[in-house]
């Protein structure tokens, strides 16, 4: 086991995707995150503003929005329109194992 000496710089990691992860798979993930983000927004809007449930739904909105933006702004995946997300989500159901 090697240890770094004090002052040694940490090298940034390069994103390496396994061959099994395709662009379509990443786009499906983006569609699922977008759908969950929108569901969390709708749920938050139906809950009493100061309730614990509303706060939890709002935190979920923020985390899902951040995940969506991290994937799309980093160039790992492309932003989706609502229509594109719906099409990918129809296909994503086949990814669920029984």
Place of tokens 């994103």: 15
pLDDT digits (tens, 9 = 90+) for 10-43: 555 555 555 556 888 889 999 999 999 999 999 9
Cβ–Cβ < 8 Å for 71, 31: no
**In Å, how far from its chain's centre is CA 34?**
7
Tell me if the pTM is above 0.75.
Answer: no
Read off the tokens for 38.
């929108």
Of 44, 41, 67, 69, which is closest to residue 54 (Cα–Cα)? 44
Rounded to 10 degrees, what is the CA torsion of 26, 28, 29, 31?
130
pLDDT digits (tens, 9 = 90+) for 63-92: 999 999 999 999 889 999 888 888 888 876
Read off the tokens for 47.
């809950």
Look at residue 25 in the predicted model and tell me its pLDDT: 85
Of 96, 54, 98, which is closest to residue 32 (Cα–Cα)? 96
Max distance between CA atoms of the chain, in angstroms, equals 54
């Amino acid at each position: 086991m090697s240890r770094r000496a004090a002052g040694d710089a940490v090298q940034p990691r390069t994103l390496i995707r396994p061959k099994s992860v395709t662009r379509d798979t990443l786009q499906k993930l983006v569609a699922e995150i977008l759908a969950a983000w929108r569901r969390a927004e709708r749920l938050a809007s139906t809950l009493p503003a100061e309730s614990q449930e509303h706060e939890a739904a709002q935190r979920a909105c923020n985390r899902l929005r951040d995940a969506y933006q991290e994937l799309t702004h980093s160039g790992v995946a492309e932003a989706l329109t609502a229509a594109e997300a719906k099409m990918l989500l129809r296909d994503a159901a086949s990814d669920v194992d029984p």
